[in-house]
Each structure stands twice: as C-alpha cells, then as structure tokens.
Structure 1
Amino acid sequence: MSCADIEFSREGQIAQVRLNRPSKLNAITDQMEQALQEAWLEINRDDSIVCVILSGAGDRAFCVGADISGAHGETGVGFGGGLTGIGGPLLALNKPLIAAVQGYCLGGGFELAMCADIIVAADSAVFGLPETNIGVIDHCGVVHRAVRRLPVSIAMGMILAGERLSATDAVRHGLVNDLVPCSEMLEAASRWAERVASCSPGANRAAKAATYRGLEMSLPLALASRYPEIDAFNSERIAPSSSGG
C-alpha cells in the first residue's frame, strides 16, 4: 500500500481496510484517497476476496471526513477512494462491505460508513452531519444517502439542525445492524464477515448489484427487470463442465 495511513491486509477470504490516522481522528488526506482507491480496485479484481471490513484506528473516531487543513480533492478521486462518488467518479465495490464504527463518525466519515452494506457500531459511536452547522455545503452526498438510510425526519434533523445520532438511536432507526461494546467491535465485525463468507460469493455479488440497482427503480419496475449480474451468475452455475458429455 502506497500510504502508511491506510492499512490493507487479508485473512483468508476476508480483506481488512483500516484508516490509520488516529491522532487526526482518521481524517482522510489526498494520499489516503489514492491508497483507498488502490485497495478497492484490488478487492474488485481479486475473486478470492469475498468480503471486506472497513475500520478506523483508535478509540476516538471512525472518521471525521476529509482533512481540510491542507489541499484536498485535487486528485480527481472521489471521497473515500471513490466509494462515495463525492468529488469524483463513483467506484462501485463488488464485494460485501462491513463497516466497524466507533467514536465520531461525522460528515464524509458518516458518508463512508453509509457506503457499507452492514454496519457494526460500538456503543461509543456518534453519527453526525456538521456541514450546515459550520456553514459548509457542497454537492454533498451525505444528504442523499442519509435520507435513504434513515427516516426522512431523522435525516433532516441531522442535516438542517446538526443533530447527532447516538449508536443506540442508529440501531433503533435501522442504520446499524449490530451494537456492541467498543472492545468487542472488531470481533463482532469479523463474525459478520465470516457469516457473509460462508455464503456463495457469486450469489452475494449478484445479489448486491441487483439490490442497489433495483433501489433506483420503482418496485414494479424492479420486479419486472432482469439483472445482468444475476444472469451471468446463473449462466456460470449451470454451465456444463468441460469434461461433461
């Protein structure tokens, strides 16, 4: 990995991507963006990886967004290595992604967590959108994902009034799948990853692609549509072996 502030490793079929800048609450720099993009592209290419855990180092924060103390966004890479599609092209991850969130999860960091398919939160997690509170707003993806992942009234309270969401309320509103003590968070995320990895990797990839594509449609259209990822998976699954006769 080209940046020490991003750790990329794997154990068997499960990849680990870790924001490693705890002294700055894991705020993301341009160098980190490029390293994250390298990680996501490698994960997409490597069929032996079937699931990914994204986490942040330290106890104080998962991520507080972009590091605005210096130049940021000059690489042309979307925030989070392209995963969010903010400030650059959207990079779609084709493997299930689990976010392990502790402490502050704010702004772009909240956006990055919402890119995950499954969120495991420590009881210390606090979710927030401080942009309008501090007078900063751009073509901000957090407003669009938040109203899709949360009840609209809850999301708008966060967007317009800077209200923060506790880990307990995040579970209650369906944002978080699992709430655990901070000391157990990574272990809980690993358990989720193992459950995902025990399922069919090809079926999971096809299901993820079809699910998010269908969310962009009305329900009748989603039900009536065909999804190329599912067709491709089913074709491979039923294809006769080369030695068959």
Structure 2
Amino acid sequence: MSIDYDLSPEGIATVTINRPEVMNALDAAHYKALSEVWTEVRDNKAVRVAVVTGAGDKAFCAGADIKSVLTAEHDWADNWLTQRDQLLNRGLEVWKPVVAAVRGYCLGGGVTMLYATDIRVASEDATFGLSEVKRGIIAANGGTMRTMRNLPYCRGMELLLTGDRIDAATALDWGLINKVVPSAKVMEAAMDYAARIAANAPLAVQASKELAVRSLDVDLVTGQRMEQMISRTLRETEDAKEGPAAFRQKRAPEFKGR
C-alpha cells in the first residue's frame, strides 16, 4: 500500500496513510514516504492547508510497525542524522495548517503525529493512547516533548506513565481534540475546517501559525516584537490590499499568497 497524496483546486492537500491491513502502522519505508509528502506540503505554494487521515475506519495510525521498526538494528551513528527523513512531528517546519481526521485507533506514533497537527476531528469510536512504556520504550518523535504542550500536566503524565488508552469523549474533555462526530462525518468535518482556512489569506495564515508556535519558546517581549515585524511585512503584500478592497466591494476576496 502507500502514503496517498491529493491536492484540490482550492489548495487542500489530503494525506492518507494507506495501510489498513496493519491499522495504518508505519514501517521504515512508509515513514520515509510520509517525510517526502510532508516536504511536498511544505514546499508547494499551491498548498494552503493539509488534512491527514488513515485509510479505512478502524485506525488513524497505530504508530510504528513493531515487527519492523522496533526490532530493526541501527548504527549508533544514525542517532546524529537528525535531519534525515524529517516528519511533521520530528523537526520538519510546516507552517501550512494541518487538520487531523481521526477514525478508530490513534496510538503511539499516531498520537505524536496528532500532536503536530493544528485542528483535530475524531470519530465517536476513536481511541487514543501512548502505550510505549508497556513495551519498555518511550513515546519518541516528540511524544514526551509535546504531551505537556497539548495537555495539562497531570493529564499528560497520566497518558505517558500509565500507557492506558482514552476514548474520544475523554480526549475532547481533556482538550486533545476539537470535535467528535460520527465516523461517517469525520472527513466532512475535517474538510469543512480546511475549506474555511483555505479561503483566508495564505501568508497571513502561515504567519499566524508560526508566531503562535514560536510563542511557546520565547518570552512575551521578544514574541511581540516578532509579531510587530511580521505584521508590518504582511501589510506590504498584495493580499493585504485585496482583503480590504473585497470588504469595501462586498465580495469574496481572491487571495494569491503574494
């Protein structure tokens, strides 16, 4: 099977992990293919927003394929190849917004991928969990780093240290996801978010995401200065002129991303 990629005329990229026979778990080849797809999303100017999902209705992603990834032998030198095959949740900076459409199991690496998305829709039967400690390993690829950025301290520790799973209602209550809908409506709800984002000025959207993400790592004064400079830069763009013009003329804006 494969990592499927599709781009709509509206600029919505759909990334589908297509390995339903193994709950959309990822082996080395599919991790590499996923890295290539995220690089395409990052670099293709026609992409305004991405939706990531798993094929079928049983799983979003069950994480690493244990039979191949966790049992494979690696050269210690590989540990310092930090730029190789980067992922959305492992070093790759993608400022286009990413919407997750989750059906069924979202476990291990599926959760760490979810952490790297911006808006999340889940089915009523979705299940979330970081079970790595039950296997003698840790939630890598941002698992331990992003848990505390996505959840309150005690909730994050519960997920990390027990390895237990939570259902969609609990994930919504904890603030891990935005919305819970019937399984048949997951992609529709995710695409609705994507369409609303894609209709906005792409440079302003990407700038907003980058500033919000970087605010987690800088002090307020520095962050506000960054915000001021980027705001001033955006005012010189064609889109910043198109937005007010469309408002005055009572029409939908035609943003070009320049």
TM-score range, shorter chain: 0.7 to 0.9
Give the structure 1 partner of residue 19 of structure 2: 21
State the AA in 1 paired with 2:57. D
TM-score relative to the length of structure 2: 0.82
Distance in 2 between the 1:147 and 1:57 partners?
A: 29
Report which stretch shifted further, 152-161 or 215-224: 215-224
Task: Specify which of 4, 16, 28 is matched with residue 30 of structure 1.
Answer: 28
Structure 1 residues 126-160: Cα deviation after superposition (integer angstroms, max 9, x where no partner): 11010112222275521221111011111101111
Contact 1:34/1:77 (8 A) holds in 2:
no
Structure 1 segments unaligned to the other structure (5+ residues): 241-245
Give the structure 2 partner of residue 243 of structure 1: none
Contact 2:124/2:183 (8 A) holds in 1:
yes
Give the structure 1 partner of residue 204 of structure 2: 203
State the AA in 2 paired with 1:82. L
Mapped pair 1:68 → 2:66: yes
CA deviation after TM superposition for structure 1 residue 198, in Å: 1.4
CA deviation after TM superposition for structure 1 residue 116, in Å: 0.5
Distance in 2 between the 1:179 and 1:79 partners?
A: 35
Task: Specify which of 68, 89, 94 is matched with residue 84 of structure 1.
Answer: 89
Structure 1 residues 145-193: Cα deviation after superposition (integer angstroms, max 9, x where no partner): 1111011111101111123221111111211111100011011111111
The number of residue pairs the alignment matches comes to: 233
Q: Please give the root-mean-square deviation of Cα atoms over the aligned residues, in Å.
A: 2.5
Spell out structure 1 runs of 4+ moving beyond 6 A: 77-80
Distance in 2 between the 1:68 and 1:163 partners?
A: 18
CA deviation after TM superposition for structure 1 residue 19, in Å: 0.2
Indicate the SS of the match to 1:235. coil
Q: Structure 1 186/227 Cα, relative in aligned 2: closer, same or farther at 3 Å?
A: same
Identity %: 34
Give the structure 1 partner of residue 185 of structure 2: 184
Contact 1:209/1:229 (8 A) holds in 2:
no
Mapped pair 1:8 → 2:5: yes
Structure 2 segments unaligned to the other structure (5+ residues): 242-258
Distance in 2 between the 1:31 and 1:206 partners?
A: 32
Give the structure 2 partner of residue 142 of structure 1: 143
Structure 1 residues 181-212: Cα deviation after superposition (integer angstroms, max 9, x where no partner): 00110111111111111111110011011110
State the AA in 2 paired with 1:186. M
CA deviation after TM superposition for structure 1 residue 40, in Å: 1.5
Indicate the SS of the match to 1:195. helix
TM-score relative to the length of structure 1: 0.86
Distance in 2 between the 1:202 and 1:215 partners?
A: 21
